[in-house]
Amino acid sequence: MQTVSAVRTARIAVYNIAYTADRPFSYLIPEDMYGAAVCGVRVIVPFGRGGRKRIGLILSVTDEVPSMKLKSVVSVVDREPVIKPEMMRMILWLKENTFCTFYEAVRTILPSGMNVSVNEKYELCSGWDPDDLTDEERNLAGFLENASSEREFDELLDVSSDTGKRQVVESLAAKGVIRRVSEASQRIKDRTMRMIKLTENYVNEPAAFRSTAKQKQVIKLLSENGSASVKEVCYICGITDAVVKNLVKNGVCEEFDVPDYRLPGEEKYEPDALGKIILSEEQNRVFARVSEVIDEGKPHCFLLHGVTGSGKTSVFIKLIEKTLADGKTAMLLIPEISLTPQIVENFCRLFGGTVSVIHSNLSLGQRLEEYRRIEAGLSRIVIGTRSAVFAPLERIGLIIMDEEGERSYKSDSAPRYTTSAVAKERCRTHGAVLLLGSATPSVESYYYARKGVYELLELKERYNKSELPHVEIVDMNAERANGNTGEFSEVLVHEIKHNLEAGEQTILLLNRRGYHTVISCAGCSRPLYCPNCSIPYTYHKANDSLVCHYCGSIAELPEKCPECGGTVFRQIGFGTQKMEEQLEALFPGARILRMDADTTFSRYAYEKNFKDFAEKKYDIMVGTQMIGKGLDFPDVTLVGVVSADKSLFSGDFRSYERTFSLITQVAGRSGRGGKKGRAYLQTFMPDHYVLGLAAAQNYTGFYEEEIALRKTLIFPPVCDICVIGISSVSDAAAAAAAAVTLKIIKDIIAEEKIKFPLRVLGPVQSGIAKLNGKFRYRLIIKCKNNKETRSFIRRILLKTAEYREYSNVNIYADMNGDIV
């Protein structure tokens, strides 16, 4: 501890502390760290009563007179700030708007590979007196002095299984023989290239050094070029790495590292291809209007509503080309990893190595490498899923969100942000344009466009005026009445057969992976449930096992029912694996590709499978919703949706919207290459208006029905909803904490005489009552998302911390999250 009158202090966000305790903490900056401890760098600080070392981020630095004794920063982790000013503002924005901690915000913005952890270890001190030590202490100190390596030194001090040794080590530390030091280590090292150059000593006095013939070749190369990579030197001079090492050892050369950036796609760069993209009159109107606003350099939001196949991607490409020509950068956000390969290949072909890709199927090292390339200004276009919105681009001119209505753009873990909200914030900072695009926009976005909050642009025709697919609703009740007990209607089987004979491709969608939906006991009819979640297991035939699609647990088929002891089980439902099997039986010669989470776990599976399908190595693609949107295969002329009504009653107020969107989008995958497309929707509810409107590709008709329903029930967009989630390994504790949370809400409303409109529903059990071993409850607050409401919600969360008996219960707030 130290106290001084006027000192430099830092306000620091300390990592890994609870939301209820999260705030900036003040620390003294030692004078020798003044130049290094600046805003945006990470530091090691002592935290709490025990002074345990933690990582923190410097939020601000000031010269002030501290009002209390402050602890000092131990060391600086980063050579330069890892958080630039814009992202520092974003951290504060995320904390304010998503009820997260500083650490959760930083963790989201920086790639995981940049995470650092504190390693505490000992080092040997000098100046200690052996006579002050006991025999045991002197013996251990002697071993430490003679340790041959750092590893041996650490092993000598390992006290994990020896209590007596721990006392000796602690005594040596107390007597100043050893001292504890803290250092930070980064999870993934930056990819670097080994470089060499001539030392200053050699340049000043080359005659003082003797060199071999091979070494003189290296010296000549470096004299002419200044520096080169070790790999280049070895190749050009025809030498081995040993020659370079000897030059370094003798003081002729010195080694240093530089970042090694991979430049993907340059070999595919076809600059002339951009000129071959010809926009239609309708597309040109959209391009001209957005270009006009980009030139103004003011933040603006457009909603581009275009029917499937209307050529939105071509408009995106031309707008990005225009943005780059203006000296600015651009971002294209997509909802699904499955869309990445086709889009990336297209953009790399058009724009070359200036494209970077960010999504969750990249390794930690790959993500860190892409981040560094973007940060260094080597990438001017970023393509990626949700997290790519935080990419460190400078001078952003355009952010595009394709299929903007997809719920995958909403984060369901802290910070629980909505991608469009983050994108808007970045556009305000950069004076950029946000372009939201979809054939099926979210009801919220279309509502804001109708009100004039967004500017609405429309593409009402398919490119080249090709026809929308013919969509037919198939009544499966009639199929059953006619004796067809299979999963495929007669008309769909006939159409698949026709496509196979014509050499055309088919896409079949079923939103259910696995083989059968559930396995249940024939005796008591109870399904086999996942022990961690309140949902049944799904049977996977490929490995003859039961899999939970929520927590990922795997179990073998039991010999007996855990409920009644019965030994006979029946299979209920229909999954993608079973669909594939039945198709093989119906069409023995057909080449079938199954696309679901079980077949695409590899980072490269999407790219390979979609490429193979595009090259017509398969006739039929079977899959879940990952194949429903954004894909473009010219030879697909038939789409079949099995169980089109399955998602209508998922328990969420957005279930109609999701069903309409999925059906409209997947039907739009057909007939994109000039041939007439067809789509067949199999359902047991043929008269449901959502299916009828989806079949007619009538978005505005669906919107009018849906917005009327939302207004009646008071759901977004006519209000906002905040979900207060409560979870615990104890059902009783979760239920009690939910009741206490409701009491806290009532107390705050009464004490503060809150007048702004609120409606509180619940608490009730969540739709999935148990998930990952935790019981779940929720309250729903219907409100207006503004500063006053967010302050009210923060007070609720902070007040719950006063109830120590619920310290093991997780309570969080999620603005406009899912309510199931």
Confidence (pLDDT) at 263 = 46
The architecture CATH gives domain 7-115: 3-Layer(aba) Sandwich (3.40)
Q: What CATH number does the domain located at 266-465 have?
A: 3.40.50.300
pLDDT in tens, 687-721: 999 999 999 989 999 999 999 999 999 999 999 99
Q: Which residue has the higher pLDDT, 382 or 606?
A: 382
Token pair, residue 749, equals: 């409303």
**DSSP letter, residue 377:** T
- Note every long-range contact of 280-285, with CB atoms under 8 Å and residues 24 or more positions apart, other chains counting: 280/311, 280/461, 280/463, 280/464, 282/310, 282/459, 282/460, 282/461, 283/310, 283/311, 283/314, 283/315, 283/459, 283/463, 285/457
pLDDT confidence of residue 574: 67
Cα separation, 383 vs 339, in Å, equals 11
Residue 369 has a pLDDT of 87
- The residue ranges of DSSP E strands in 199-284, in sequence order, are 227-229, 253-259
DSSP state of 557: P
DSSP structural state of residue 573: S
Task: Find the length of the chain.
Answer: 820
pLDDT digit string, tens, across residues 754-769: 888 899 998 998 878 8
Residue 272 has a pLDDT of: 61
| pLDDT above 50: residue 491 | yes
pLDDT band at 265 (very low <50, low <70, confident <90, very high): very low
Collapsed DSSP state (helix, strand, coil) of residue 549: coil
- The class level of CATH for 192-259 reads mainly alpha
Work out the average pLDDT over 76-87.
Answer: 94
* Contact in structure between 469 and 695 (CB atoms under 8 Å): no
Rounded Cα distance between 196 and 498, Å, is 66
**SS3 of 525, please?**
coil
Alpha helix (H) ranges present in 361-407? 364-375
Token pair in block for residue 33: 């760290």
How much of the chain exceeds pLDDT 90, in percent? 49
* Domain-wise residue ranges, the chain: 7-115, 119-186, 192-259, 266-465, 470-513+575-711, 720-815
Amino acid at 318: K
The answer to whether the bond into 763 is cis (omega within 30° of 0) is yes
- State the DSSP code for 543: T
Chain position carrying tokens 């960010």: 358
Does 264 have pLDDT greater than 60?
A: no
Q: Strand pairing partners for 63?
A: 8
Model confidence band, residue 592 (pLDDT cutoffs 50, 70, 90): very high
Structure tokens at 69: 């004794």
| CATH of span 720-815 | 3.30.70.360
Neighbours of 667 (CB within 10 A): 29
The overall average pLDDT reported for the chain is 87
Q: Which two tokens stand for residue 199?
A: 């030392």
Say what the pLDDT of residue 266 is: 45
Alpha-carbon torsion, ordered 525, 531, 535, 540, to 10 deg: -80
433 backbone dihedrals φ, ψ, rounded to 5°: -100, 135
Is residue 601 scored above 80 in pLDDT? no
Which tops the pLDDT comparison, 363 or 483?
Answer: 483
Q: Which residues, 6 or more positions from 193, have their beta carbon under 8 angstroms from its beta carbon?
A: 229, 231, 257, 258, 259, 260
> What's residue 6's pLDDT?
63
| Other CB atoms within 10 A of residue 536 CB | 19
DSSP letter at 619 equals S
Show contacts of 222-225: CB within 8 Å, 24+ apart. 222/196, 222/197, 222/198, 222/253, 223/198
Task: Work out the average pLDDT over 184-207.
Answer: 79
pLDDT at 1: 44
Give residue 244's Cα distance to chain centre: 43
pLDDT at 675 over 50: yes
Highest mean pLDDT among 50-64, 328-342, 603-617, 722-736: 722-736
How much of the chain exceeds pLDDT 70, in percent?
Answer: 91
pLDDT band at 169 (very low <50, low <70, confident <90, very high): confident
Give the N- to C-terminal CA distance of the chain in Å, as an integer.
50
Closest CA to 731 of 769, 768, 697, 701: 769
Angle at the Cα of 669 from the Cα atoms of 664 and 675, rounded to 5 degrees:
120
Report the pLDDT value the prediction gives residue 144, as an integer from 0 to 100: 87
More confident residue, 166 or 653: 653
What is the mean pLDDT of the segment spanning 135-148? 85
pLDDT band at 267, cuts 50/70/90? very low
pLDDT digits (tens, 9 = 90+) for 26-44: 999 999 999 999 999 999 9
Q: What is the mean pLDDT of residues 164-172?
A: 80
Q: What is the pLDDT of residues 618-654, one digit of tens each?
A: 999 998 877 776 677 889 999 999 888 877 776 678 8
Tell me if the pTM is above 0.85: no
Residue that is written with structure tokens 């050009």 in the block: 236
Between 30 and 548, name the one with better pLDDT. Answer: 30
- Asked whether 302 and 454 are in contact (CB, 8 A), the reply is yes
Nearest CA-CA partner of 290 in 443, 452, 456, 430: 456
**470-513+575-711 belongs to which CATH class?**
alpha beta
Higher local confidence (pLDDT), 268 or 138? 138
pLDDT for residue 802 is more than 80: yes
- Cα–Cα distance measured from residue 214 to residue 236, given in angstroms and rounded to the nearest whole number: 11
Structure tokens, 316: 């995106």
Task: Tell me: pLDDT of 486 over 70.
Answer: yes
- 745-799 pLDDT, tens digit per residue, is 999 999 988 888 899 998 998 878 888 889 999 999 999 999 999 999 999 999 9
C-alpha distances out from residue 805 to 21, 389, 486, Å:
17, 39, 54
Neighbours of 804 (CB within 10 A): 6
Distance set, CA 415 to CA 368, 400, 817 (Å): 20, 22, 12
Q: What is the pLDDT of residue 628?
A: 72
Structure tokens at 704: 């009018």
DSSP β-bridge partners for residue 727: 776, 810
257, β-bridge pairs: 194
- pLDDT of the residue at 91: 97
429: helix, strand or coil:
helix
> Which residues are within 8 A (CB) of 639 and not within 5 positions of it... i.e. 6 or more apart?
469, 506, 507, 508, 509, 666, 667, 669, 670, 677, 678, 679, 680
Tell me the longest C-alpha to C-alpha distance in the chain. 100
pLDDT of residue 184: 72
Q: Do domains 266-465 and 470-513+575-711 have the same CATH topology?
A: yes
Residues 6+ apart with CB under 8 A from 49: none
Q: Is the separation of the CB atoms in 339 and 633 below 8 Å? A: no
